[in-house]
Chain A
Amino acid sequence: DAKTTQPTSMDCAEGRAANLPCNHSTISGNEYVYWYRQIHSQGPQYIIHGLKNNETNEMASLIITEDRKSSTLILPHATLRDTAVYYCIVSFGGGGSNYKLTFGKGTLLTVNP
């Protein structure tokens, strides 16, 4: 799986948009970009994933650059409960029995009142 690079930490004001960047310059054509988060040692929580197109769901938006070498997770209106470690993971589509996710250190997002 391609390696990802994320900032160690970021701060965001409550109510503002949080934009979390991720670099994945070695991503291959059939690899997806997944975002998970982990709130205080709870289980990793799926947020969103995408292949080429931008994606949006009820939690967040994912913007993938045209060359697919980087992406940004956007939390449109951050709340205190969004304080967590956010993981950007690049992985092949999960069709095979050896599919898994490999977690890095992620970005600690702190949402401040």
Chain B
Amino acid sequence: EPEVTQTPSHQVTQMGQEVILRCVPISNHLYFYWYRQILGQKVEFLVSFYNNEISEKSEIFDDQFSVERPDGSNFTLKIRSTKLEDSAMYFCASKPTGSGNTIYFGEGSWLTVV
């Protein structure tokens, strides 16, 4: 069964460093997402991406965050200058076109900022 894959599974970084989280969405999907989940809290929407541009972003997704689809298969989340509060699990997700279609999530990248 096709799945969303994410790398790395776990990354430890120093505060202020740049981090890139990578995702390979399901191949025929055209909508892409990043969510995050701080330990013990809800899964939160960060950003959605369609047709090579951001469709919607949440208040969390400030100027230190950016997304990119550098080629036909990868979808990345960059955090420019990490803060302690960016420590969280980051989930990539994708969805095909059409109504009633389902969003499929990857297993997540656990980011620890020290």
Binding site for B on A (CB under 8 A): 32, 34, 38, 41-46, 49, 51, 87, 93-95, 97-105
Contacts and interface: CB of A to CB of B under 8 A. Distances in A.
Main secondary structure of the interface of A (DSSP, over half): loop
Contacts of B114: none
B25 interface: no
A54 to B, nearest CB: 16
B113 to A, nearest CB: 17
Interface stretch (B12-20, B66-74, B76-84, B99-107): B99-107
Nearest to B41: A105
B37 A99 contact: no
A97 B56 CA distance: 8
A103 B50 contact: no
Nearest to A106: B42
Contacts of B2: none
Nearest to B105: A43
26 contacts: A32-B100, A34-B102, A38-B43, A41-B37, A42-B107, A42-B108, A43-B93, A43-B105, A43-B106, A44-B91, A46-B104, A46-B105, A51-B100, A87-B43, A93-B99, A93-B100, A94-B102, A97-B48, A97-B50, A97-B51, A97-B56, A98-B48, A99-B95, A100-B45, A103-B35, A104-B42
Contact of B56 (A34, A94, A100, A105): A100
A34 B95 CA distance: 14
Interface of B: 4, 31, 33, 35, 37, 39, 42-45, 48, 50-51, 55-56, 89, 91, 93, 95, 97-108
Contact of A103 (B42, B99, B100, B104): B42
Contacts of A49: 100, 102
A102 B45 contact: yes
